Amino acid sequence: MARRILIAAGVAGLVIIAGAIGWLWVAHADQSVPGLYHSNGRLELTRIDVAVKYPGRVGALDAQEGDMVVRGQVLAREDDEEARAQLAAAMARQGQAEAATGRALAELAARTRAALLAGDELAHARTMRRQMLVSDMEVTQRQTAFDVAERARDGAAQAVQEAGRAVDAAAAMVAQARVVVEDMVIHAPVAGQIEYRVVEAGSVLPAGGRLYALLDPVDPYLTVFFPARVARQLRVGDEARIVFDDLETGPVAARISYVSPEAQFTPKYVETATEREQLVYRVRLRVERAAQKALGGVLKAGMTGEGYVRTEVTAPWPASPAGAHRAAP
């Protein structure tokens, strides 16, 4: 029994060693075209989280995993009963503020007429005083009445301004409440494909709770890895090519959109030159819009292929999938 276990362990060890040697041969094979390097990867699409803006219960989910959706399409609805009640209350307050403004305007009109009348009476009293027909007391009383009427008019005008501000505040509350109600219906931010649903109908979510993961087909990219001696010569914006395994269209135009500043899948601290040479850096190749449009939407998430980059601008690109070269050493 022990001997069988030892034999099995030995076979497994040989398989692992052989696999490791094979991987190293592929990853460190000689280049047949100087200045041209490539690495295999899988096509990815930008993932967008579709989430609720306000906390609440999910009333309905209108999209399934794998569905293609257009921008603005309804994807889900939250229970909006409370939000609609708040909207109704805000509209009632707006109505009250508008009614108060109407009353303030009517009061201002009345106070304005009273002030005009008091002014006329004061002028008449002064004329009669010059003719010695009334006493100074009469003029003083008319002056006092006029001053009181003016202050009342000014107070009414101030009340109208305050009522107007109350109307504006109430209108803002109505607009805010209406936006909340509208945001209870969740729309697709972009056209794309539903990758997966995060929750089901009836779930209660906090603000920002995720509903779906949406893939944006307009932004496909291939993530590949290159050793340090290649990665340090690459720049964002440089040309690149992608040869997809399942397409016979030849290399697809792309550009380098990202070069990782840190090594991947290596020890945190590297001391020896040999270990430093084994560092691998992540590089992202983004398909050009013109190339994507020419392909007519055939690119799908998960497609595998080879991503090509150049460290010498004179290096020729592969002419077809058959022109692929081995990975970067």
Gap between the Cα atoms of 252 and 257, Å rounded: 15
Q: Residue 220 is inside which H or E element, if any?
A: strand 210-227
| Domain CATH code at residue 37 | 2.40.30.170
Q: Global pTM?
A: 0.62
Say what the pLDDT of residue 280 is.
83
pLDDT band of residue 20 (cuts 50, 70, 90) is: very low
Assess whether 87 and 176 both reside in one domain. Answer: yes
Question: Per residue in 71-113, pLDDT tens?
Answer: 999 999 999 999 999 999 999 999 999 999 999 999 999 999 9
Which of 49, 47, 52, 84 is CA-nearest to residue 186? 52
The most confident of 6-15, 116-125, 163-172, 245-254, by mean pLDDT:
163-172
In a domain, 56, yes or no: yes
Domain count of the chain? 3
Q: Domain check: are 139 and 158 in the same one?
A: yes
Task: Write down the pLDDT at residue 18.
Answer: 39
Q: In CATH, what number is assigned to the domain containing residue 60?
A: 2.40.50.100
Domain holding 255, by residue range, is 32-45+218-323
Considering the domain architecture, whether residues 244 and 114 belong to the same structural domain is answered as no
Give residue-wise pLDDT tens across range 310-321.
998 888 988 754
Calpha distance 73→189 (Å, rounded): 8
Contact assessment for residue 85 and residue 175, using Cβ atoms and an 8 Å cutoff: no
